[in-house]
Amino acid sequence: MSIVNAARAFVACTFALAGIGIAQAQGVIKIGLVAEFSGPFAQYGQQIYGGMKTYMKQHGDTVAGKKIEIIQKDVGGPAPDVAKRLAQELVTRDKVDFLVGFGLTPNALAAAPIATEAKVPMVIMNAATSIITTKSPYIVRTSMTLPQITQPVAVWAAKNGIKKVYTVVADYGPGIDAEGAFISAFKAGGGEIVGSVRTPLQNPEYAPFIQRVKDAKPDAVFLFLPAGEQGIAFMKGYKERGLADAGIKLIATGDITDDGVLEAMGDPTLGLITSFHYSAAHDSPENKAFVKTYAEVNGTKLRPNFMAVGGYDGMAAIYEALKKTGGDTNGDKVIAAMKGLKLTSPRGPLTIDPDTRDPVQTVYIRKVEKTGGGLYNVEFERLENQKDPGK
Ligand code: PHB
């Protein structure tokens, strides 16, 4: 080979390698998942990630010709400083194209400024305090807002002979939203609030609160607690202190009868009325396929709950947006593509509101019943196209 030809070959080879390098860099879309994978809220991360994996099992791990890679980070619990640091590291070090996950409100709020600064789309797969989407134009939510899912049970209670209610909520964003939405809708329906109490988010001890409710003799107690162990503890106290026997009904958002813990709470939940956007018993072909694939991917120990659906639909929103942008991950283009997006979710129809970037969806009134497969939230009324009533 002449020197000239050798030089040409070298240059060609260098360009080819550079080309491969560029092709590879362009060929991967990185998703940074920040969620709770340890501590008392560990099921949040498990459910969200389980739902994301379910979507990828059904739809493949490439979209618009690019491979999807998930980088998983454990925030450990309600830890805003950690959530912020993890989001920052994912953006600057790992160069993620999306931030996703966020089971708990304080973690989502802490990471919002990172999304804004980096212009990285942030998909909230659970955290449900109303204001979250107002904290960054790069946030889209695929879960719910507390006012959206609370108002229907307040209206239902007022129409169904419940006159006096005592409210009990966890003392942080979603609890305060639930309390406000319940009180205004229940009063508008002619109901009376005889007491309200807020319980600590960390290490709550419910006995004194439950006693206070019992002494006030309401027709019902309205409850919002973050899904999981807290609901189990409250239900135990409600039974032990004889509230049901005293004729005090329990009504709640579906966080309390979350499908992941319903069996563990057992028969005391029978007959409990809740309003919510997802039940594992929802009767649709999409939900049947979702529940089946979820079990194939994640095993059968944990039934998929609303957080799993939030994760699943979050991935759906990402895939659909990337199809529209032709794989372009530019934050402004992705968010524009997500606005107004319509999905047929396992929960029912879901639209991303173009104005608020919050989900618009059907909210169901459900009752816990024992079916062939165990305890389930059986839907018996539906309110379509529900938005956050305060927005
Ligand atoms: C929240 O922190 O926003 C949150 C957590 C658990 C729920 C609902 C909302 O069940």
Reported as a single tens digit per residue, the pLDDT across 6-39 is: 445 444 444 444 444 443 445 999 999 999 999 9
Q: Are 338 and 358 in contact (CB under 8 A)?
A: no
Write the pLDDT tens digit of every residue in 123-140. Answer: 999 999 999 999 999 999
Mean pLDDT, the chain, integer: 94
The order of strands in the sheet holding 28-35 is 62-63, 66-74, 28-35, 98-101, 122-124, 139-141
Q: What is the mean pLDDT of residues 176-201?
A: 98
Which pLDDT score, from 0 to 100, does residue 84 have? Answer: 98
pLDDT at 214 over 60: yes
pTM of model > 0.85: yes
Ligand 1 centroid from CA 21, angstroms: 42
Q: Give the pLDDT confidence of 140-164 residue by residue, as tens digits.
A: 999 999 999 999 999 999 999 999 9
pLDDT band at 106 (very low <50, low <70, confident <90, very high): very high
- The residue nearest atom 7 of ligand 1, judged by CA position, is 226
349-376 confidence digits (pLDDT tens): 999 999 999 999 999 999 999 988 899 9
Chain segment 303-316, per-residue pLDDT in tens: 999 999 999 999 99
Residue 273 has pLDDT above 70, yes or no: yes
Nearest CA to ligand 1 atom 2: 104
Q: What pLDDT does 13 receive? A: 45
Residue 297 to residue 279: CA distance in whole angstroms: 19
CA of 254 to the centre of ligand 1 (A): 11
Choose which residue among 47, 109, 124, 126 to substitute to test ligand 1 binding: the one with the highest number of ligand atoms within 8 A of its C-beta.
Answer: 126
Give the confidence band of 203 by pLDDT, cuts at 50, 70, 90: confident
* Cβ of 255 below 6 Å from ligand 1: yes
pLDDT of residue 372: 82
Answer yes or no: is the C-beta of 128 below 6 A from any ligand 1 atom. Answer: yes
Structure tokens at 142: 């695929």
Rounded to the nearest whole angstrom, what is the distance from the C-alpha of residue 276 to the centroid of ligand 1? Answer: 13
Q: Find the mean pLDDT for residues 247-275.
A: 95
- 172, 149 in Cβ contact below 8 A? no
Residue 106 Cα: closest atom of ligand 1? 2
Cα of 103 to ligand 1 centre, how many Å? 6
Mean pLDDT of 161-169: 98
Please answer whether residues 351 and 340 qualify as being in contact, where contact means their C-beta atoms are separated by less than 8 angstroms.
Answer: yes
C-beta of residue 373 within 8 angstroms of C-beta of residue 315? no
